[in-house]
Amino acid sequence: MKSIYFKSLEINDIGPLSRVDYKFPFRSQLPRPVVFVGSNGSGKSILLSHLLNPLLTAQQVAFDDAEVEPNRVYKLRSPSYIKSGSNYSYSKVCFGDDFECEEWQLQVSRAEHERRFGCPSKPSFQEIPESGTSLYKPSYYSQTETVTDVFRQNCVLFFPPNRFEQPAWLNERNLKSVAEFPDKPNVSRLSNRRIIQDAPLSITKNWLLDILLDRATYGMRFMQTLIPLDQSYAQGQLFLGFDGDAENLWRSITRSVKLVLGTVEDVRFGVGPRHNRSVAVMAGEHREIVPHIFQLSTGQTSVLNFLLSILRDFDMTGGHFTTIDDVTGVVIIDEIDAHLHAEFQCNILPEFIKLFPKVQFIVTSHSPLFLLGMKKHLGADGFDIVALPSVRKIDVEEFEEFQSVYDHYSTSHLFRKTIETEVRASQRPAVFVEGDYDIRYLRKASCLLSRESTLQRIELFDGEGWGNLDKVWRSCDGPIGHAVPRQVLLLYDCDVGKANQDNARAKKRIIPTIKDNPIQKGIENLFPSGTILSLRTEQPQFFDITPSITRVIRGVGTVNSEVCDVNRSEKSNMCNWLCLNGTLHDFAGFASIFNLIDELFPANDSIELFSKIELSSAGTEEKNFVDLPSEATFQITVDPEIPLQKSNQIVATTLSNLNFEFPVQPSNDYPNEPANQGDCHVTIPSPEALDKPL
């Protein structure tokens, strides 16, 4: 099997893209989906066009019916796309087993460029004609047989952002459209396939008729048997069902329809008689769900086109088909979430991608819901999210459009009500960290370092990323922050580039950094170098290592030091291992966090309690709590504004579940008035002060 998967993409100074050096991800030789994200104008479509051009050029090499005429490309090749301030642009795409495609664009002729700016280090620069300003160099122009084999074994599709199927209500001809057997010439250099899929439903409709014909003609299976008559037997055939490639395809098509309609019901496509071969969606044998395929919603049609186009294009290769797992190839989709409802973005699209494990999906998206769905259905490490134009791999929560949606949500009454409820849940200071692993590490460290009392004075919360900590910061700086008496600490990892800052109720602090630690990101930076080096030997799967390299650019050498990161999918395993096996020495660095918390929220000699009580000026009484393990005397002082004649003495040794009860009697001066009611400010010593003289 010959591969067509993209391996790498390099871009220098094209449009908004300054530098792209991206290696497409694989696991066990199978491609992982890649989602390019970014705001409008960040270079997503430009990047995809540099993947599409080599595919179309390869199609021209293999076939005479390529959709772009020979020596032409999909994306306009022009110096106008050179990034502002640069004097040239360059791209290189590696795909298949050994295919490459390079492109140069210069602002001036090559000779003039050399005179004014010197020569770039890439050898292909010298292949630009001296008086020329561009070069387009595919490595496979002379490999006709190899390129043809690649296309004969893989589906190759691109869905542009302007794809659109006219619904029946917009175009009456679609409603009257009937399926026809396609007339495809069988000539060696004709593929009868298109890479660019802008409105493929009509083509797919006719292909469905082909599948049904083959299924009925070549897929029916019979067994010879004897049929009993009145007094004898006759030879006959017993129908056993359908078999073969057409039947396998039909089952996959039916599976696709179920996914799009979101039903477990037995649904299928149905084709009308020869006088009206419309294609409908049926339930059971006779009930029509959708009378005509063009009456599906725009969103349903969009996803159905993805599914059926992949099956159709792979079928057109002539390859053997048993299950969807057999389908290999490359599918590029610009704005995959276009026209889709939230449910389709979050669940149907990820399920569709998951159906084809051997297809390399390269897509762009603006949808936080789609990314959340991908994480839900494929796992956080099951796909790549790459932010443009920085070409930085990110997590779902780092997606700027996710942050934008969250910002809008954070202004809602529901959000503020939720935050206020959470903050009021306890009077202890709330400490937000970036993740659940931070909390687990801190709890383990508190036991080893005997700092449990520090954690007992606070309440830890998983902020689920530094972006959410920023939202809590902004919420605490508003009316909620002034109204709620609880202090909030936002504890950021050392690599986020934040500064310490205070507002009405929140304090923003950065975990101290150990500069010479092999790990420079996350709370794992606090573990000693010896611990990390030992783990790299004993548990190497925990880490991603980028070796130290020396790069020479224009004759100047630059040394890039080794980079050691914790593998995202192994963070949980590493945390489990350290929390189970870690020693006092391993967790010594965490003392800096406890010191920071103690400094911000020191252990007081008293604890303030607020409670609603009823008081009178008639006097006080003594209460004894005899069900406690030992006794110590606490002085209870009532706010002097409340007219009590003296303080109370009570006996207790714990601060939990104390009930302060005072006699409720009318005042002597005002016997007909009810007892005074109000918020009583009571101060009692903390457990740490039990051994101090009263």
Question: What is the structure's pLDDT at 604?
Answer: 57
SS (H, E, C) 601-623: CCCCCEEEEEEEEEECCCCCCCE
Q: Which amino acid makes up residue 142?
A: S
Question: What is the structure's pLDDT at 428?
Answer: 75
Closest CA to 245 of 321, 181, 133: 321
Question: What is the structure's pLDDT at 409?
Answer: 63
Distance CA 570, CA 547 (A): 20
Distance CA 441, CA 531 (A): 14
Distance CA 301, CA 260 (A): 8
Distance CA 412, CA 407 (A): 9
| Parallel/antiparallel/unpaired status of strands 563-566 and 633-636 | unpaired
Closest CA to 294 of 161, 169, 159, 163: 169
Q: What is the DSSP letter of 82?
A: B
Q: Which amino acid makes up residue 39?
A: S
Structure tokens at 70: 């020979």
Q: Which helix (H) or strand (E) holds 401?
A: helix 400-410
Question: What is the structure's pLDDT at 667?
Answer: 37
For domain 6-154+328-402, is the CATH number 3.40.50?
Answer: yes
No. of H helices and E strands in the chain?
19, 32
Q: Which residues, listed in sequence order, are joined to residue 271 by a DSSP beta bridge?
A: 279
Burial 267-285 (b: 16+ CB within 10 A, else e): bbbbbeeeeebbbbbbbee
Q: Which residues, listed in sequence order, are joined to residue 559 by a DSSP beta bridge?
A: 550
Q: Which residue ranges make up each domain of the chain?
A: 6-154+328-402, 172-181+198-323, 411-603, 606-689
Distance CA 212, CA 225 (A): 27
Q: What value, to the nearest 5°, has the Cα angle with vertex 575 and ends 574 and 581?
A: 85
End-to-end CA gap in the chain: 86
The answer to whether the CB of 7 falls within 8 A of the CB of 24 is yes
Structure tokens at 118: 């010197």
Helices (H), 143-273: 144-153, 172-176, 201-218, 245-261
Distance CA 373, CA 365 (A): 12
| Parallel/antiparallel/unpaired status of strands 329-333 and 155-159 | parallel
The answer to whether the CB of 462 falls within 8 A of the CB of 596 is no
Q: Which residues of the chain fall short of a pLDDT of 50? A: 168-169, 172, 174-176, 426, 605-694
Q: Is 685 helix (H, G, I), strand (E, B) or coil?
A: strand
Q: Is 442 helix (H, G, I), strand (E, B) or coil?
A: helix
| CB neighbourhood size of 378 (10 A) | 16
As a whole number of angstroms, the longest Cα–Cα distance in the chain is 120
Q: Which amino acid makes up residue 46?
A: I
Structure tokens at 653: 């040794």
The answer to whether the CB of 435 falls within 8 A of the CB of 465 is yes
Distance of CA 272 to the CA centre of its chain: 43
Question: What is the structure's pLDDT at 620?
Answer: 35
Query: What order do you get walking across the sheet with 648-651 strand by strand?
Result: 623-624, 648-651, 633-636
Q: What is the DSSP letter of 12?
A: E
555: left (phi over 0), alpha (psi -120 to 50) or beta: left
Burial 567-592 (b: 16+ CB within 10 A, else e): eeebbeebbeebbeebeeebbbbbee
Q: What value, to the nearest 5°, has the Cα angle with vertex 35 and ends 29 and 36?
A: 125
Distance CA 571, CA 436 (A): 11
Taking only the tens place, the pLDDT of each residue in 255-282 is 888 888 887 778 787 777 776 777 777 7
Angle between helices 413-424 and 400-410 (to 10 degrees): 80
Structure tokens at 628: 């406690």
